[in-house]
């Protein structure tokens, strides 16, 4: 494996996650062994100290009763029992001079002369190092006995340190498979943990290759990565719908722009052919301005819809008398309804107030009411009601038109969508998408209920 490839592998997230898993597992195991080693060492040391204390009391008692002779018999008894560890026993006078050391040959590895250099009146523990090894001799001094001498009892730490040495060997033997287990476990866990991320990477590469229907395979475990995969798939669905919508929108924009642009071009050509006729040139300019305004209106509305759909539509809300605002809109469209011989009825509760942008909210309500009047046949009725229900304000507009086909209901809020029945009507197909965006910007909701041949009911719900 080349150095460059190895460097690239070490930079991957999977390697780092696996390394962290392994380091934590191996480090935790080593820490447990260290703690166990310290605990074992402390336990063995405490056991040795307790045994020495018991032996000291027994040796002092024997010495008080039978003197050195009794201690010689006791030491011989210990030897006959093949005691695993010899017992160090020393008799010293009040000046801490050695009177007798039992089995002195067993303690040649220690500098016993140091015992005479200690404090004559001191009691407690003393530790002496071994000349040839790492062992120590732990000695406990008792008080002066009735015979006027001091008894000292001790033990070597050899057995204790041999047990700890065996424990260290076991630790080294066990750490090798633990290291392998931790490394393999870290690699396995990292690969299993990062499987959804690899699925996302594979899906993105498929999309780059032009496969828009590729989706991340979910584990359905309910964890964060599964949730990420679900959100990623939802995002891909939204992007796919957006692309389809953009394709349809481009077709609709091209269709709606083709007519005014063609008229604008024809008007300009006619004005150029009729040279010297100021009146014709003036009419051509007026018509050109009219068509330009229509195109600018389409583009401006498209921008407003885009801002509304992305949540950045600028509104300036303040406390507004909704009752007065709605009445103004109704009065404005009452003349349009009369010209079409459509009866416009309204039931508006007095004193309705809400924090809204008056201009934007007027634009939204006027758009709905304009559609209601436009699609209501001659001699029919359009009804508008506005009332407070709890903490919210409900504004309902019911027309008597042909209704909205069930297959078109989910799409009426789409940008530039125009149903088959609205193709013959003048419009840009942007009204309802802009209305929904304005209502959403005010933290409100809008609903539609419709059946073919029974008209449509639009309901705007605003926080009061």
Task: State the pLDDT confidence band at 259, using cuts at 50, 70 and 90.
Answer: confident
Residue whose token pair is 């103004």: 328
**338, 433: one domain:** yes
Rounded-to-integer distance, Cα 413 and Cα 440, Å? 12
**276, 334: one domain:** no
**257, 276: one domain:** yes
Q: Last residue of a domain, which of 309, 338, 369?
A: 309
Task: Kindly state the DSSP code that residue 390 receives in the 8-state scheme.
Answer: T
Task: State the pLDDT confidence band at 333, using cuts at 50, 70 and 90.
Answer: very high
Task: Kindly state the DSSP code that residue 216 receives in the 8-state scheme.
Answer: P
Q: Last residue of a domain, which of 285, 309, 333?
A: 309
pLDDT of residue 376: 92
Which of helix, strand or coil describes residue 152?
strand
Domain count, the chain: 3
Element containing residue 449 per DSSP (H, E): strand 445-450
The mean per-residue pLDDT over the stretch 147-173 comes to: 89
pLDDT digits (tens, 9 = 90+) for 387-439: 999 889 999 999 998 888 888 787 787 765 555 444 444 444 457 888 888 89
- What's phi and psi for 430, nearest 5 deg? -110, -10
By percentage, how much of the chain surpasses pLDDT 70? Answer: 82
pLDDT of residue 1: 52
* pLDDT greater at residue 204 or residue 463: 463
The range of the structural domain enclosing residue 241 comes to 224-309
The two tokens of residue 378 are 């001659």
Residue whose token pair is 């016993």: 112
pLDDT of residue 210: 63
Q: How far is CA 106 from CA 51, 79, 103, 126, 156, in A?
A: 19, 12, 6, 18, 10
182, part of any domain: no
Q: Last residue of a domain, which of 277, 309, 341?
A: 309
pLDDT of residue 74: 87
DSSP string over 121-148: T--EEEEEEBSSSS-EEEEEEEEE-TTS
* pLDDT greater at residue 51 or residue 133: 51
**325, 254: one domain:** no
pLDDT digits (tens, 9 = 90+) for 277-326: 677 777 777 777 877 877 777 777 767 666 666 566 678 889 999 999 99
- What's phi and psi for 396, nearest 5 deg? -120, 135
**328, 372: one domain:** yes
**74, 156: one domain:** yes
**283, 396: one domain:** no
* pLDDT greater at residue 260 or residue 360: 360
Rounded-to-integer distance, Cα 186 and Cα 135, Å? 41
215, part of any domain: no
pLDDT digits (tens, 9 = 90+) for 6-56: 565 566 666 777 777 778 888 888 888 899 999 999 999 999 999 999 999
| Alpha carbon of residue 319 to chain centroid | 39
284, part of any domain: yes
* pLDDT greater at residue 351 or residue 188: 351
pLDDT of residue 418: 58
pLDDT of residue 173: 87
The per-residue pLDDT of the chain, averaged, comes to: 81
- How many of the other CB atoms lie within 10 Å of CB of 186? 22
Most confident of 92-96, 255-259, 430-434: 92-96
> For position 266, which CATH number holds?
1.10.287.130
- Angle (nearest 5°) at CA 243 between 240 and 248: 130
Q: Exposed, middle or buried, 156 (CB in 10 Å: 0-12/13-18/19+)? A: buried
Which of 136, 138, 123, 126 lies closest to 60, judged by CA? Answer: 123
Task: State the pLDDT confidence band at 126, using cuts at 50, 70 and 90.
Answer: confident
The mean per-residue pLDDT over the stretch 109-116 comes to: 82
The two tokens of residue 51 are 């045994």
Sheet holding 88-92, edge to edge: 98-101, 88-92, 150-156, 136-144, 124-129
> For position 368, which CATH number holds?
3.30.565.10
173, part of any domain: no
> For position 137, which CATH number holds?
3.30.450.20
Which of helix, strand or coil describes residue 163?
helix
| Alpha carbon of residue 290 to chain centroid | 54
**108, 40: one domain:** yes
pLDDT at residue 274 is higher than 70 = no
**375, 417: one domain:** yes
**125, 42: one domain:** yes
Residues 409, 415, 421, 422: is their CA dihedral positive or negative?
Answer: positive
**34, 156: one domain:** yes
pLDDT of residue 422: 47
Residue partners of 230: CB distance under 8 A and separation at least 6:
218
* pLDDT greater at residue 229 or residue 421: 229
Rounded-to-integer distance, Cα 385 and Cα 394, Å? 8
Q: Exposed, middle or buried, 70 (CB in 10 Å: 0-12/13-18/19+)? A: middle
Residues 401, 402, 408, 409: is their CA dihedral positive or negative?
Answer: positive
pLDDT of residue 427: 45
Residues 73, 77, 82, 84: is their CA dihedral positive or negative?
Answer: negative
Residue partners of 380: CB distance under 8 A and separation at least 6:
342, 343, 399, 400, 401
**303, 371: one domain:** no
pLDDT at residue 252 is higher than 90 = no
């Amino acid at each position: 494996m080349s150095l460059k490839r190895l460097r690239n592998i070490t930079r991957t997230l999977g390697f780092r996650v696996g390394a962290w898993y392994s380091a934590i597992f191996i480090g935790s195991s080593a820490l447990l062994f260290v703690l166990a080693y310290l605990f074992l060492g402390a336990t063995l040391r405490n056991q040795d100290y307790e045994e020495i204390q018991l032996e000291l009391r027994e040796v002092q008692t024997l010495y008080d009763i039978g003197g050195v002779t009794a201690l010689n018999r006791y030491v011989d008894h210990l030897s006959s029992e093949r005691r695993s560890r010899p017992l160090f026993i020393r008799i010293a006078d009040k000046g801490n001079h050695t009177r007798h050391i039992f089995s002195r040959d067993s303690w040649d590895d220690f500098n016993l002369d140091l015992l005479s250099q200690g404090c004559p009146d001191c009691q407690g523990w003393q530790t002496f190092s071994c000349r040839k090894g790492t062992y120590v001799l732990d000695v406990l001094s008792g008080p002066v006995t009735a015979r006027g001498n001091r008894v000292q009892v001790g033990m070597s730490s050899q057995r204790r340190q041999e047990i700890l040495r065996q424990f260290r060997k076991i630790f080294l033997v066990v750490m090798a498979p633990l290291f392998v287990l931790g490394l393999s476990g870290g690699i396995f866990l990292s690969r299993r943990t990062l499987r959804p991320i690899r699925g996302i990477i594979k899906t993105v590469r498929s999309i780059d290759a032009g496969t828009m229907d590729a989706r991340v395979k979910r584990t359905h475990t309910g964890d964060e990565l599964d949730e990420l995969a679900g959100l990623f798939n939802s995002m891909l669905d939204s992007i796919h719908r957006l692309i389809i919508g953009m394709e349809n929108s481009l077709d609709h924009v091209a269709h709606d722009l083709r007519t005014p642009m063609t008229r604008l071009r024809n008007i300009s050509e006619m004005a150029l052919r009729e040279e010297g006729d100021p009146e014709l040139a003036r009419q051509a300019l007026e018509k050109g301005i009219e068509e330009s305004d229509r195109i600018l209106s389409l583009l401006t509305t498209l921008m407003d819809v885009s801002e509304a759909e992305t949540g950045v539509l600028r509104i300036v809300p303040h406390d507004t008398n909704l009752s007065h605002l709605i009445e103004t809109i109704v009065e404005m469209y009452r003349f349009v309804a009369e010209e079409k011989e459509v009866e416009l009825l309204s039931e508006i509760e007095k004193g309705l107030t809400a924090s809204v942008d008056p201009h934007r909210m007027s634009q939204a309500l006027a758009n709905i009411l304009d559609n209601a009047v436009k699609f209501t046949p001659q001699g029919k009725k359009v009804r508008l009601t506005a009332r407070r229900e709890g903490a919210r304000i409900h504004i309902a507009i019911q027309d008597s038109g042909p209704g909205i086909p069930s297959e078109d209901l989910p799409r009426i809020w789409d940008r530039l969508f125009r149903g088959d029945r609205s193709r013959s009507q003048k419009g840009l197909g942007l009204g309802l998408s802009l209305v929904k965006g304005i209502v959403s910007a005010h933290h409100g909701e809008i609903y539609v209920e419709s059946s073919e041949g029974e008209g449509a009911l639009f309901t705007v719900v605003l926080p009061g």
